[in-house]
Amino acid sequence: MPTWLTVSAAHSWRKSWCRSRLRSRVTGAASRYWLGIVNHCLAATSYAAGMGETEAGAGARRFVGERRPATDAEARALASAVRLRILRLCLDEPLTNKEIAARLGRNPATVLHHVRTLVDNGFLAAEGERRGARGAREVPYRATGKSWLMDGASAPGAARDPLLAAFLEEVGLVGEAQLQSTRIGLRLGAADLAEFRERLYGLLDEYATRPAHPGAERWSLYLGMHPDV
């Protein structure tokens, strides 16, 4: 989220943190809990992410910091497909409110409300003013990476998943012909399921923290799990 990963925008998965949760027994409500965790994780790889990043030289992106529970205000700030898409757009380049609105196809005044919410909660940061095409002063914004470190921002049991909504909007823009997808049904015992998740999240964490390559092809990743019917 689908974050993400952004996911994906961004979620810095500490291996010890992963293992402690992955080895817990997975049943019923726990499965729904993991759905939220998986989706929120992907926001970083997939969406929002930019998250948790610090500059470490040209083209480098490193996720740093300790995970912590999201506050109510932070969780509300991330509970919006529009805001997740804003974080995704500002992952690789700083954009002004006008530029963000143009890419989203939305009213700049409405977008400004979302931008201010993200700034107020530390998910976007304003960079230095610059001059626009007509000499007007403009303020560009870049994703800070903070959302990568938020635990529980995608709470289980929510009626709507903003990560899924954002992902579907983006798929609609590029067209389903561009979508590479797969689907699998799993019948795993608790230990095997824990191993599957640990290895999967370890792979995501590896790629989420790799240095970014300037000019490289950009991809979006969303992953979701749910109890089978």
For residue range 190-204, what is the model confidence (pLDDT) as tens digits?
999 999 988 987 787
User: In the prediction, which pLDDT does 207 show?
Assistant: 79
Ramachandran angles phi, psi of 168, nearest 5°: -65, -35
Residue, of 41 and 182, whose pLDDT is higher: 182
Give bridge partners of residue 166 from the DSSP assignment. Answer: none
Mean pLDDT of 20-42: 42
Strand partners, 69: 151
- How far apart are the C-alpha atoms of 152 and 156, rounded to whole Å? 8
How large is the average pLDDT for residues 193-221? Answer: 83
Least confident of 31-45, 143-157, 193-207, 211-225: 31-45
Q: What is the pLDDT of residue 32?
A: 42
Q: Alpha-carbon distance 217 to 214, whole Å?
A: 9
Over residues 40-59, the mean pLDDT reads 39
Written out in words, the top-level CATH class of the domain with range 7-208 is: mainly alpha
Question: Residue 147: what residue type?
Answer: S
- Would you state the structure tokens that stand for residue 184, as one six-digit string? 């699998």
Q: Among the listed ranges 1-5, 13-17, 93-97, 180-184, which one has the minimum average pLDDT value?
A: 1-5
Distance CA 125, CA 50 (A): 11
Q: Are 67 and 147 in contact (CB under 8 A)?
A: no
The answer to whether 50 and 146 are in contact (CB under 8 A) is no
User: What's the whole-number average pLDDT of the chain?
Assistant: 75
β-strand partners of 95 = 141
Residue 4's nearest CA partner among 154, 192, 140, 125 is 154
pLDDT above 80 (res 135): no
Half-sphere exposure in the Cβ direction for 43 (13 Å, CA): 39
Calpha distance 75→117 (Å, rounded): 11
Instruction: Note the helical H segments in 47-143.
Output: 72-78, 81-89, 97-104, 108-120
Instruction: Average the pLDDT over 17-24 and give the result.
Output: 41
Residue 38 pLDDT greater than 50, yes or no: no
Residue 76 is predicted with a pLDDT of 93
Per-residue pLDDT at 8:
35
The top-scoring range by mean pLDDT among 32-36, 193-197, 212-216 is: 193-197
pLDDT tens for residues 106-126?
A: 999 999 999 999 999 999 999
Tell me if 147 sits within 8 A of 123, measured CB to CB.
Answer: yes
pLDDT of residue 210: 75
Q: Does the predicted model carry a pTM greater than 0.75?
A: no
* pLDDT value, residue 21: 44
CA distance 13 to 201: 8
